[in-house]
Amino acid sequence: MRRSAARNVSVVAAAVALLSACAQALPSSVATTPRPPEKTPVAAGYGGAVASVDTDASAVGIEVLRQGGNAVDAAVATAAALGVTEPYSAGIGGGGYFVYYDAKSRTVQTIDGRETAPRSADSSLFLEGGKPIPFADAVTSGRGVGTPGTPATWDTALDAWGSKSLKRLLEPAERLARNGFTVDATFRSQTEANQARFADFPASAELFLPGGQLPVVGSVFKNPDLARTYAELGRKGTDTLYRGDLADDIVRTVRKPPVDPAATRVVRSGDLTARDLAAYRTKRQAPTKVSYRGLDVYGIAPSSSGGTSVGEALNILERTDLSRATQAGYLHRFIEASRIAFADRGRWLGDPAFEDVPTKGLLSQRFADSRACLIKDDAVLKSPLAPGDPSDPTPCATGGTAAPTTYEGENTTHLTAADKWGNVVAYTLTIESTGGSAITVPDRGFLLNNELTDFSFAPANPAVHDPNLPGPGKRPRSSISPTIVLDGHARPVLALGSPGGATIITTVLQTLTGHLDRGLPLVEAIAAPRASQRNGAATELEPGLWNSPVRAQLEAIGHVFTQNPEIGAATGVQRLPDGRWLAAAEKVRRGGGSAMVVRPAGKPGK
């Protein structure tokens, strides 16, 4: 959800206080209290840090830290709050990937909380008459809904590393949903973009289009159904979403989407069953890891392609001194490394429970070197580029058949958190498209995902095996790339991530190289104008690069560009040399982000 800085101070204050024993309901004057301070994209201090796109959500995470919670507790509470204030980007109807650094053991661990296809799904899931159904039809349907992974992710993270109960961590979000937050222009505009879809589903229309109208800027948006749902999850645990009453409501909604009788839209049903929900499990798995400039970079392993693609691109760039390159030279190398990584991603990445994914080979320096030699300083690689073979890393090989990059929805959200003990979380969660499937579970207050549309509807190239075709219980390929960087002593340097569909990979890569190679402060590396090349004919540029002289310099050697008004919306945390935490978020994108620390001043005491 894109949020502006217009935020009600009482709502923010309430979010900060909600976890205290004496927390009270928000006053009825909440809608008329003064305008709050502008969002802060960077903050530094002691005791821990949280960065997200939303002020309310970041404030909730900070209060958890103030009351003795750790980074995992703060991340879960922040994510739950984002489910209230960012309902078109995230929520319990979706999934995501959680990367955690444990300060005591100095290790990085991860959770794959990706949604799964029904057990009845096969490669023809999105085919009718042997042909793919229109993408827009799949997006707004029960067909695209996978079993949600977010609630199970919270349980898994808290069971393994948390210190607070889920019930306690849901209380701030429950209160925020009940009492509401102030509507800003971006919330209204995103609702407007989904108005036709929401209007076709009575539960969505009642929630997001009260009285048949768009929410008014400055009004208070309340979601009492979601407040009750959070309260139920707190009392009964997330098992109710996978085996209880809530599971039954999800299955009923997917199998027979509640469409307005007057709607003309064809809304296909899905085949999700109670058995599918009951069988869902998150996956605890080892992270990806590459060494870059003497640092260790950890990411999420498949089913996401984020860790392997960011890692491969970094390995390709390892042999080049980007710190001394001109801006054009740096961007040229970054673009070409991205192109190569996406060429290999398209051929090899899928759910490793179903596909033979050569993760180790993709992350080997030997394979990266065999691909890096394709890059020339005075020429541009042609797209779509053919993939390499990690099992046979022949230098500069150009054989094989290209697999073009398929479309992924770009609306997701990312949060980062750190605590006074040095633990760090990078967590990206999503419901896929802006507004997900547009289908709200009646009386439950949350949208269902359309993540299964991340599968290939048909082989990207009929001549080559596509590892991302649907299958029973299969996880669709993702580009989510939560990343944690450690120094040579296994201590945290920074953590970051971003929304943005397939542009997540290039956003994380550009932010890392901007900070580590080009010397930009983390907040400036996040704010820098972006480019995104995903093995396509043209590279996307934000206006800051489109309108720069560097574009003509790159076009002179063969680059082709298209303009994209906004790419990604990153957040990060960084450990400073003096022991402080720095939180960083966007300055402008999606209305700007919210960076907070527990204590802006003082000493690094416990």
> Per residue in 287-296, pLDDT tens?
999 999 999 9
101 inside domain = no
Q: Estimate to the nearest angstrom the gap between the alpha carbon of 596 and the chain centroid.
A: 20
Of the pLDDT bands very low, low, confident and very high (cuts 50, 70, 90), residue 11 is very low
Range of the domain at 158: 9-92+120-283+430-454
The predicted model gives 151-171 an average pLDDT of: 98
pLDDT for position 605: 55
**C-alpha dist (Å) from residue 534 to 358, 490, 531:** 20, 32, 10
- Please tell me whether residues 378 and 495 are part of one structural domain: yes
Q: Rounded to whole angstroms, how far apart are CA atoms 250 and 182? A: 29
CATH number of the CATH domain containing 489? 1.10.246.130
318 inside domain = yes
Of the pLDDT bands very low, low, confident and very high (cuts 50, 70, 90), residue 464 is confident
pLDDT greater than 80 at residue 301: yes
**Burial zone of 354 (CB within 10 Å; 0-12 exposed, 13-18 middle, 19+ buried):** middle
- Please tell me whether residues 17 and 163 are part of one structural domain: yes
Q: Estimate to the nearest angstrom the gap between the alpha carbon of 560 and the chain centroid.
A: 28
pLDDT tens for each residue of 180-195 = 998 888 889 899 999 9
The predicted model gives 111-122 an average pLDDT of: 98
pLDDT for position 402: 81
Of the pLDDT bands very low, low, confident and very high (cuts 50, 70, 90), residue 25 is very low
The predicted model gives 219-238 an average pLDDT of: 97
187 inside domain = yes
- Please tell me whether residues 448 and 487 are part of one structural domain: no
The predicted model gives 538-567 an average pLDDT of: 98
- Torsion sign across C-alpha atoms 446, 450, 451, 452: positive
pLDDT greater than 50 at residue 17: no
pLDDT tens for each residue of 351-384 = 999 999 999 999 999 999 999 999 999 999 998 9
For the chain, give the mean pLDDT. Answer: 92
pLDDT for position 182: 86
Helix (H, G, I), strand (E, B) or coil at 511: helix
- Please tell me whether residues 277 and 369 are part of one structural domain: no
Does the bond joining 224 to the residue before it have cis omega, within 30 degrees of 0? no
pLDDT for position 401: 81
pLDDT for position 2: 37
**C-alpha dist (Å) from residue 525 to 528, 571, 585:** 5, 11, 10
442 inside domain = yes
pLDDT for position 26: 32
Pairing of strands 539-541, 561-563: parallel
**C-alpha dist (Å) from residue 252 to 249, 279, 287, 485:** 5, 17, 36, 43
Q: Rounded to whole angstroms, how far apart are CA atoms 372 and 261? A: 57
- Please tell me whether residues 221 and 269 are part of one structural domain: yes
- Please tell me whether residues 85 and 178 are part of one structural domain: yes
pTM, two decimal places: 0.93
pLDDT for position 184: 82
Q: Estimate to the nearest angstrom the gap between the alpha carbon of 207 and the chain centroid.
A: 24
pLDDT greater than 60 at residue 6: no
User: Do residues 314 and 184 lie in contact, with contact meaning Cβ atoms separated by under 8 Å?
Assistant: no
User: Do residues 11 and 56 lie in contact, with contact meaning Cβ atoms separated by under 8 Å?
Assistant: yes
- Please tell me whether residues 133 and 87 are part of one structural domain: yes
- Please tell me whether residues 509 and 526 are part of one structural domain: yes
**Burial zone of 377 (CB within 10 Å; 0-12 exposed, 13-18 middle, 19+ buried):** exposed
Q: What is the dihedral of CA 385, 390, 396, 401, to 10 degrees?
A: -30
* Joined tokens for residue 225: 């159904």
Please choose, from the candidates 91, 75, 89, 79, the residue with its C-alpha nearest in 3D space to the C-alpha of residue 148: 91
530 inside domain = yes
pLDDT greater than 90 at residue 502: yes
4 inside domain = no
- Please tell me whether residues 369 and 223 are part of one structural domain: no
pLDDT for position 463: 79
- Please tell me whether residues 44 and 191 are part of one structural domain: yes
Q: Which amino acid is at 557?
A: I
Which is higher by pLDDT, 409 or 134? Answer: 134
> Which sequence positions are flagged as catalytic?
412
- Please tell me whether residues 198 and 271 are part of one structural domain: yes
**Burial zone of 118 (CB within 10 Å; 0-12 exposed, 13-18 middle, 19+ buried):** buried
User: Do residues 86 and 1 lie in contact, with contact meaning Cβ atoms separated by under 8 Å?
Assistant: yes
Report the share of the chain in percent with pLDDT over 70.
92
The predicted model gives 386-399 an average pLDDT of: 90
Name the domain count of the chain: 2
pLDDT for position 601: 85
104 inside domain = no
Q: Which residues of 51-70 are buried (b: 16+ CB within 10 A; e: fewer)?
A: bbbbbbbbbbbbbbbbeebb
- Please tell me whether residues 317 and 337 are part of one structural domain: yes
463 inside domain = no
Which is higher by pLDDT, 7 or 56? Answer: 56
